[in-house]
Each structure stands twice: as structure tokens, then as C-alpha cells.
Amino acid sequence: MTTTLSQNKTAGSSSELLDRDLSILAFNERVLDWAHRPEVPVLERLRYLCIVSSNLDEFFEVRAEPHVMGSLQEIKSGQYTPDSLSAIADKTNAMVARQYALYNDDLLPTLQRQGYRLLSHGERNAEQRRWVRSFFQREVQPLLVPVGLDPAHPFPKVANKSLNFIVQLSGKDAFGRANEIAIVKVPRVLPRVIALPDRVCEGTKAFVLLSSVIRAHLAELFPGREVGQFSQFRVTRHSDLAVDEDEIANLRMALRQGLQHRHYGQAVRLEVSSNCAPQLAEFLRKEFRLPEASVFRVNGPVNLVRLMQLIDLVPAPELLFPPFKASFPVQLPQHGSVFNRLKEGDVVIHQPFETFDGVLAFLREAVMDPNVLAIKQTIYRAGSDTTMMDLLREAVRRGKEVTAVVELKARFDEEANINWAEQLESIGAQVVYGIVGLKTHAKMLLVTRREGRVLRRYGHLSTGNYNRRTAALYTDISYLTADPEITSDMDQLFGHLASQSRLPKMKRLLVAPFHLHAHMMTLIEAVGSAAARGAPGRIVIKMNALTDIPLVQALLAAGQKGAKIDLIVRGACVLPAAVAGVSDNIRVRSVIGRFLEHSRVFYFCADQVESLYLSSADWMSRNMTRRIELAWPVTDPLLRQRIIDECLIAYLHDGRDAWDLAPDGQYHRVGLTAPGPGAQQALMQRYDATPGRG
């Protein structure tokens, strides 16, 4: 999984770094492994299959434009080579083939053995076919508008990732013309999975796919014509919004206008049925101006992501993971004052093992407390849950100064964030959009409270988002503090984001793009120097991605000086591990579990000097140079040890869900050779508040 690109060569050595895109695909292979595991409940296996499909969609939408198009300009610029483009295409095709083989040969039969069937037209009996036909005529056909192609009816606009059919017709149309091709666009308002009523299911529970319903009744859409070859198809389009912030007067309006066109960006991938006639596939390929490598023939529904609906329709909790109920944060009083607790010291909340309700309790107390004067918050991916919005609205109603730094450019959350911004502005909150040219990715919530004659600040920092739904699915660290230096830094940073004035010198916070990257480099070099003179030198880093070349080179240099380095990197990692003479002292592992690993924890030990940081930032160039990011130190000895134990040591000893990166660039699951407890499993057992559990 190496790349031949010269800019990825490590300084001072001839070794090659790993290819970022192949590393992203390798991460998805590790996720797909969960869908293959027979010990995992079958509906959860289907969920992992859908997650991989969703991840591949995003890979194509964001990363694959030059890869799939294979433009000469990209190759000439040195960003890609013909070999790297071919390797990406080969790996993607192989993964898609594995997905559909698993779906057809394993998951569907396993569900059928449990009494749940997904019926094709050929498998439906006469009564079921009558019900499906009635459903089609009543619910589906009125929403379909077949378009016969001719000079007056050109190829219609096909939205990104939408379900469509291409149909070849024989005979003449109503005007005696032999227009042979028609397109049927399927509205997104229609459910992709339909449950059949029990009365036609013969003692089982049966479902049909919308694509199968339409496929069986295509002829009814073309009276007087004969339907010949046909195929469902789906096109993926480049969807990364780009606006020139220097050239626009209103970022929010520009993004909202851009969202209208996102669904019709440049095509980068075409999916058709495996039995699609060659001439139809070629017609579509030329229409979307795609090379051969961008056409994927799939043996099943063209959008596996939409099978998430099947998981919700199957009434079988025994086919899901056992329920897990997170505990209320152990360091917070369930009914007492969070402010009073923070006067005693900082608080760590380890999500999702501890509930996000602790963060909401902090905000709720701030909203209801008449002594609280101001609330400031960053919003990156807040989601659709209204709890936090309702609290901020109530804060404004109670006369508090509410400031929200809303990142409008959070990829694929632009519309939700625009709506948040507009709602907050409509109730009188101060809304700002951060710094031109930089995404605000830092997660901060700052409360200013009058206590006697002084104003005291209370803050919340996090490695994750203010999103209640993902807080139950992602591992993150929330950090509550009344430390005057940290909260003063937070206040200064909020002022910087609002006024764009020069950022004052920070006392405790490290802020990108100003000094986070440089400070990480300094810490790595200090560890390397300590190791070179024979003193202890240790680095343990947990993050989601490691692709920043200077940081990678600094880690390799420190390892070559004798520092012992463990990197727990969930996704893309370009650093080659355990390569003789290059990275002998560096181990890289990835942990894939029930929850998405998302916390960022950085530990350094240079001689006797230890430091531990939590951060919103991965070690990627974009995080270090094109975003407002934060890292903050954890100095309380008990909290430091808790974070080290739960976020680092537990993962270094994971014997179930961890994958180690081998010198050849391949990942190998450790649980296959030395099975043991998984880090997430152990943490769930520690924090499980489900009634009847320990």
C-alpha cells in the first residue's frame, strides 16, 4: 500500500510513505470485517455493510474526482500516477464485489433463517404479487414521470445518489417515432424497503425493495410500447462545496445557493445492475462522461445504504446488539450544581460510555441560573436534535447574551448549520461564522457567571461535536473546567473568532493554525532528543487520521533516535510501521468496534517530563493549517491517569477489535491470533447503567 510519489518520501531516508487513499479504503475493509463476523447479530452486520457503502459514497463524492476521472492534469502535477489510480480502482472494485457477495450469500440467507425474507418478484406468490401491484398503482406510479428521450426531451438531470431506471423500448410512440430510450427517476420521498402485510406472508415477515416493485411493473409505465432491456442505475457526483470567501458578500447565502447545485455536480461514479445490457451501460457512461473504470456493475440494489430502513422495520431486538445504557457522568452530581462541582476541580466525561446528558445539564444550569450573564458556543455538527437549540433559545428569552460561532462549511452539514444560524439570529442571538478561509472545528462552550463582585467563567471543551445522536455512537472526551487560565483563553479565542483581531498569547490552549502544529513538533523532537541521550522517550497518540507529512517525518525521526511510539489511528495513516531501519520503534494500530473511535489524545514523555493533551484536531494538514482547532493540557493527576488508562492503555491491550499495521502496509486483526477483551467492551461493562447489569 505504498505510493511512489516523491513528496511522500521521508526526509533523510529512501522509504516510502503509505498511500492516503488506499489507507482510507483499508479502513473501510476493517469496518466491512464486522459485517463478516458470524458472532455479530445479523442486523448489526447489515448495518456495518451499509456504513461501508455510505463511507464509499463519501470517498467518491469528496476524494475520488481526480482518481476516477484520471485526468492527465492530476497525473502531470505529481499528485497521482497511473499505478496509484489503478490501485485505487482495483481495491474499490474488490471491496464492492465483497459487499454484494456478503449481502446475497450470507446476510439475506441468515435473515431468512430467522424468519425475515426480502422477496424478489420471482419469489413472490400470487397473493403477494397482487398486493405489490396494488401498492405500485396506489403509492408509486402516481409519482413516476417516465421521460422518453428525443431532441425535445433530452436526458433529464439525475440527482446525486438517486435511484433511476433506464429502459429500452421497441415499437412506436404516440407520434409514430421510434425513440428507444426512456429514463424513470424515482422520487426520494418513496420508502426503499416496504413491509408486506402479515396476511400475505404465510407465517413469516416479508419485505420488498422499491426497485423490485418498479422493475416488476415497468411495462405499465409505457402503454403501447414493449419494454426490452432495462436496468436500475445510480450516479455519484462530486459534492464538496467550494466557495471563494474573498469574492462573496454573504457566505450563508452563497452556501445556500451552492447547496441547490450540489446534487448535480460532476459525475464521478456510475452503478448499474450486474445484468445491465452493454449498450445501456455504454449509453449512460457516455452521457455522464465517465471512463470505463468509473462504471460499477453490482449484483443487487444499487444503493445498499438505504437498506438501513430494513434494520428499522425488522421487529427483532435479539438480532441487534444487546442494549447499552450509558451511565450519567460519574464525576457530576445528578441533581446538584455543576458549577459547584467545577469549583472543586475539572471533570471528564467519557462518551458514549457516560451520557451526553452531563453536557446538557451544564448548559441547562447556565440557562436557568439568573447569575449567568453570557453563553458562547461553537457549532460544527449539531445535528437535528432540538434540545440544545431550545436551551439557547430559552437563554435569549431570559435576557442572556448568547453568541454562537456557527461553521457553515461543515461538509454535508451545511444546510443544517445554516438553519441553526438563521434560527439563532431570529431570536436575537449573536451569530458569527468564524474566520474567512478557515473552518472553525474547535469545540467550546463558555459560560460567564456573576459571583459576588467578580465574573467567573466555566467552560466545556470536547474532542467531539455538540450532537446528541453522535454522542451516543462516537467515543469522545468532554472536559468541563473552571480553570481561570483555560477559560480566559477560551474567551480570548471567542473574541478572535468574532472580531478577527489578533489572537492574544494563550496561557494554556494550543490553537491551530497558529501554534498547535509547531508545539506538537516541539514535543516530538523533545522526546526524540531524550531517547537519543538514553533517557526515557515515549509517545502514545490516539487520533482518527495521520496524514500530515511534517508530523509523520518528525515521528519517524524520533523513533529512529530510540523513542518508543504507539499510534492508535482509526482511519487513514500514511506512516509505515515496524519497517526495519525506518520505523522499528513505531507501532500503528486501528481499533474498530461497536462505536466509532473519535477521541484525540496525545501523550508525550521526554525523560521525566510528561504531558497529556486532548484535542479537536487530527494530525492532518487541513486540521493544522486550514482550521481553527484546539488542544488543551490535562494537568490533574487523577484525570490524567484515568484518560491514559481508558483511552490509551486499554486500546494498546485490545485483543479483540484491534488491527496492527504490518511492515508490508497491510493491517492484521490481533484477535484472530491472540483473542482477548476489547477496549470498548471493557469500558461498556465498566459504565453500563442498564437495569439488572453490574
Domain, as residue range, for 582: 512-687
Kindly state whether residue 694 falls inside one of the protein's structural domains: no
Output phi, psi for 464, to 5 deg: -125, -170
Residues in contact with 689: Cβ distance below 8 Å, sequence separation at least 6, in sequence order: 325, 326, 327, 328
Residue where a domain terminates, one of 319, 347, 381: 319
Same domain, 603 and 520: yes
Burial class (CB in 10 A: 0-12, 13-18, 19+), 202: exposed
Number of domains in the chain: 3
311-361 pLDDT tens trace: 999 999 999 999 999 999 999 999 999 999 999 999 999 999 999 999 999
Name the grid cell of 502: 489578533
Q: Residues 40, 106: contact at Cβ < 8 Å?
A: no
Exposed/middle/buried for 97, CB within 10 Å: 0-12, 13-18, 19+? Answer: middle
Q: Is 307 in the same domain as 400?
A: no
Residue with cell 438505504: 306
Sign of CA dihedral 526, 532, 533, 536: positive
Provide the mean pLDDT of the chain.
Answer: 89
pLDDT category of residue 386 using cuts at 50, 70 and 90: confident
Structural domain contains residue 1 = no
The pLDDT of residue 64: 63
Q: Which residues touch 159 (CB under 8 Å, ≥6 apart)? A: 185, 188, 263, 264
Residue 83 in this model has a pLDDT that exceeds 90? no
Question: What mean pLDDT is predicted for residues 476-501?
Answer: 95
- Which amino acid appears at position 597 of this protein? E
Give me the active site residues, please: 441
Q: Name the residue with higher pLDDT: 404 or 12.
A: 404
Q: What percent of the chain has pLDDT over 90?
A: 73
pLDDT at 246 over 70: no
- Give the bridge partners for 195, in sequence order: 207
Q: Is the dihedral of CA 133, 135, 140, 141 positive or negative?
A: positive
Find the helix or strand (DSSP H, E) in which 426 lies: helix 414-426
Q: What is the pLDDT of residue 126?
A: 95
Task: Dig out the grid coordinates for 341 from the structure.
Answer: 462541582
pTM: 0.91
220 and 72 together in one domain? yes
pLDDT in tens, 668-685: 999 776 677 899 999 999
Q: Are residues 385 and 357 in the same domain?
A: yes
CATH number of the domain enclosing 101: 3.30.1840.10
Q: Which of 59-68, 81-90, 393-402, 624-633 has the weakest average pLDDT?
A: 59-68
Confidence of residue 587 (pLDDT cuts 50, 70, 90): very high
Query: Range with the lowest mean pLDDT among 25-29, 144-148, 258-262?
Result: 258-262
Comparing C-alpha atoms, which of 158, 145, 148, 50 is closest to residue 100? 50
Q: What does DSSP assign to residue 3? A: -
Is 489 found in the same domain as 516? no
Question: All 3 cell numbers of residue 542?
Answer: 490516539
Longest dimension (CA), the chain: 89
Last residue of a domain, one of 467, 484, 508: 508
Helical H segments across 103-146, by residue range: 108-113, 126-135
pLDDT reading at 166 higher than 70: yes
Enclosing H/E stretch for 358: helix 357-368
**Is 501 in the same domain as 590?**
no
Do 496 and 605 belong together in one domain?
A: no
Would you say residue 510 has pLDDT above 60?
yes
pLDDT digits (tens, 9 = 90+) for 648-657: 999 999 999 9
User: What does each C-alpha distance from 222 to 227, 228, 371 come to in angstroms?
Assistant: 8, 11, 70
What pLDDT is stored for residue 305 in this prediction? 94
Centre a 10 Å sphere on the Cβ of residue 549 and count the other Cβ atoms it contains: 16
> Which one-letter DSSP state was computed for residue 150?
B
Q: Confidence class of residue 259 from pLDDT cuts 50, 70 and 90?
A: low
Contact assessment for residue 665 and residue 643, using Cβ atoms and an 8 Å cutoff: no
Residue 124 lies in a domain: yes
Identify whether residues 488 and 517 lie together within a single domain.
no
pLDDT for the residue 68: 43
Residue 431 is predicted with a pLDDT of 87
Between β-strands 372-379 and 444-451, what pairing exists: parallel, antiparallel or unpaired? antiparallel
pLDDT band at residue 216 using 50, 70 and 90 as cut-offs: very high
Q: What is the pLDDT of residue 70?
A: 46
- Whether the bond between 352 and the residue before it is cis, its omega within 30 degrees of 0, is yes
Q: pLDDT > 70: what percent of the chain?
A: 88
Give the pLDDT of residue 690: 73
Using the 3D structure, point to which of 485, 508, 531 is the last residue of a domain.
508
- Cell numbers for 9, please give them: 518520501
Q: Is the pLDDT of residue 244 over 70?
A: no
In terms of domains, do 164 and 46 share one? Answer: yes
Model pLDDT for residues 517-539, shown as the tens digit of each residue? 999 999 999 999 999 999 999 99
* 330 within some domain: no
Q: Are residues 484 and 581 in the same domain?
A: no
Instruction: Label residue 228 by pLDDT band (50, 70, 90).
Output: very high
182 shares its domain with 229: yes
Q: Are 446 and 377 in contact (CB under 8 A)?
A: yes
Q: Which of 319, 304, 308 is nearest to 100 (CA)?
A: 304
Would you say residue 301 lies in a domain?
Answer: yes
- 14 pLDDT band, cuts 50/70/90, is very low
- Please name which of 600, 541, 542, 534 lies closest in space to residue 563, comparing C-alpha atoms: 534
Residue 324 belongs to some domain of the structure? no
Residues 444 and 520 in one domain: no
**Averaged pLDDT for residues 567-574:** 97
Q: What is the CATH number of the domain that holds 362?
A: 3.30.870.10
Q: Answer whether residue 329 is part of any domain.
A: no
pLDDT of residue 517: 98
Would you state the pLDDT for residue 74? 46
pLDDT at 258: 55
H/E element holding 23?
helix 20-36
Q: Is 388 part of any domain?
A: yes
Q: Which residue has the cell 453568541?
A: 403
Are the CB atoms for 573 and 23 separated by under 8 Å? yes
